[in-house]
């Protein structure tokens, strides 16, 4: 009888934990005139809070880019999974994803994204509702989060580049087209010396088009290895072995630059955090929310946050 009662108590407790109600709040944070609307979800207050910092592109709080037909929904999947671990989560529409900001983006620099992140961090530091703040930077957001991590408790890099952006882009292009990679290097050399490119290679217009050049020039001045060395808080570096955009080598470079960091390579995880069992599904997962987020990613991050 005692065994039966004990079993019932354990079972009922497990059910109550798994069905803990997730609360949701819509929050608008401003950086001057820039609007950063986001969603906060949590099971209870005084728990750890993860703040998500986006990768490149006009990404919304859920990890989608409607104009580019990117519908991976990976940030929403991350949110739902991490909430089940009793960890609060906040993500916001990147300034470039919010149409209300469209007239204010002409001279945006990469450091402006860092200022946005700092405003979000400050908001949650000031209201003191959560026990600690963990900053998660994904892809481009890895570098942005490094620079914004002065007032947080822990930092996590997911799929972050280990080298300056010119080297990263050149490698990505060279992987698919070696001659075009050489052309890209020449374009970057011109941009570095002259601050602009008059004649853009026709096959590289999407990268070096005139509106992109000032942003790229500023981005080239930043070195992830230098920035991650400055961090004295606990650091976790994660990369997936199915990532088509950022290599395992990049994660190893970051790890070597901050020897106090922890490095985890996640099997079968791609750039948008999906568990990929078939190679043909890798790119497909960018355009569909049907593919599931890596369970090992959630377990790895949860353990890092709670320890």
Which pLDDT does position 68 carry in this prediction? 85
Same domain, 51 and 194: no
Same domain, 141 and 170: no
Domain with 203, as residue range(s), is 165-221
Which pLDDT does position 17 carry in this prediction? 44
Count of structural domains within the chain: 2
Same domain, 138 and 276: yes
Which pLDDT does position 19 carry in this prediction? 54
Same domain, 79 and 32: yes
Query: Between the CA atoms of 291, 269, 160 and 88, what dihedral angle is there, to the nearest 10 degrees?
Result: 60
Confidence band for 205, pLDDT divided at 50, 70 and 90: very high
**Residue-wise pLDDT tens digits, 19-56:** 579 999 999 999 999 999 999 999 999 999 999 999 99
Exposed (0-12), middle (13-18) or buried (19+): which is 291, by Cβ within 10 Å? buried
Confidence band for 291, pLDDT divided at 50, 70 and 90: very high
Tokens linked to 140: 């481009």
Same domain, 65 and 145: yes
Does the model's pTM come out above 0.85? Answer: yes
Same domain, 80 and 172: no
**Residue-wise pLDDT tens digits, 85-115:** 999 999 999 999 999 999 999 999 999 999 9
- Domain limit, last residue, from 196, 221, 246: 221
**Residue-wise pLDDT tens digits, 59-92:** 999 999 988 888 999 999 999 999 999 999 999 9
What's the CATH number where 264 sits? 3.40.50.1820
233: Cβ–Cβ under 8 A, 6 or more apart, which residues?
Answer: 149, 152, 153, 154, 155
Give the CA distances from residue 17 to residues 21, 47, 294, in Å, rounded to whole numbers and listed in that order: 9, 15, 22
222: Cβ–Cβ under 8 A, 6 or more apart, which residues?
Answer: 110, 143, 147, 164, 165
Q: Where are the alpha helices (DSSP H) in the chain?
A: 2-18, 74-83, 110-127, 140-148, 165-176, 178-194, 205-208, 213-220, 224-229, 248-257, 281-284, 295-306
Same domain, 140 and 198: no
Same domain, 107 and 250: yes
Same domain, 137 and 31: yes
- Domain limit, last residue, from 221, 240, 261: 221
Q: Residue 144 CB: number of other CB atoms within 10 A?
A: 29
Confidence band for 277, pLDDT divided at 50, 70 and 90: very high
Bridge partners for 135 per DSSP: 51, 155
> Does the structure show a pLDDT above 90 at 251?
yes
Same domain, 211 and 281: no
- Domain limit, last residue, from 179, 201, 221: 221
Task: Supply the DSSP string of 143-154, one letter for each residue.
Answer: HHHHHHGGG-SE
Q: Residue 203 CB: number of other CB atoms within 10 A?
A: 13
Same domain, 170 and 157: no
| Rounded Cα distance, 153 and 132, in Å | 6
């Amino acid at each position: 009888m005692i065994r039966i009662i004990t079993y019932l108590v354990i079972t009922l407790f497990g059910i109550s934990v798994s069905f803990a109600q997730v609360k949701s709040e819509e929050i608008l944070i401003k950086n001057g005139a820039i609007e950063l609307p986001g969603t906060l979800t949590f099971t209870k207050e005084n728990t750890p809070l993860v703040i998500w910092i986006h990768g490149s592109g006009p990404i919304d709080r859920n990890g989608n880019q409607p104009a580019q037909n990117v519908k991976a929904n990976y940030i929403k999947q991350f949110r739902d999974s991490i909430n089940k671990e009793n960890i609060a989560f906040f993500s916001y529409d990147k300034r470039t994803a919010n149409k209300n900001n469209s007239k204010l983006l002409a001279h945006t620099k990469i450091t402006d994204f860092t200022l946005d992140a700092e405003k979000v961090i400050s908001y949650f530091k000031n209201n003191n509702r959560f026990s600690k703040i963990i900053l998660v930077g994904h892809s481009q957001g890895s570098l942005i989060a490094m620079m914004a991590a002065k007032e947080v408790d822990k930092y996590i890099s997911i799929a972050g580049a280990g080298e300056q952006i010119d080297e990263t882009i050149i490698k990505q292009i060279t992987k698919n087209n070696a001659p075009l990679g050489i052309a890209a290097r020449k374009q970057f050399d011109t941009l570095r010396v002259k601050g602009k490119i008059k004649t853009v290679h026709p096959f590289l217009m999407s990268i070096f088009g005139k509106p992109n050049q000032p942003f790229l020039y500023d981005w080239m001045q930043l070195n992830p290895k230098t920035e991650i060395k400055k961090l004295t808080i606990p650091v976790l570096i994660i990369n997936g072995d199915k990532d088509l955009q950022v290599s395992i080598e990049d994660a190893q470079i970051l790890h070597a630059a901050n020897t106090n960091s922890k490095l985890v390579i996640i099997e079968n995880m791609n750039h948008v955090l999906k568990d990929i069992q078939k190679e043909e599904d890798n790119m497909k997962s960018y355009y569909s929310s049907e593919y599931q987020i890596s369970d090992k990613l959630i377990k790895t991050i949860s353990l890092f946050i709670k320890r």
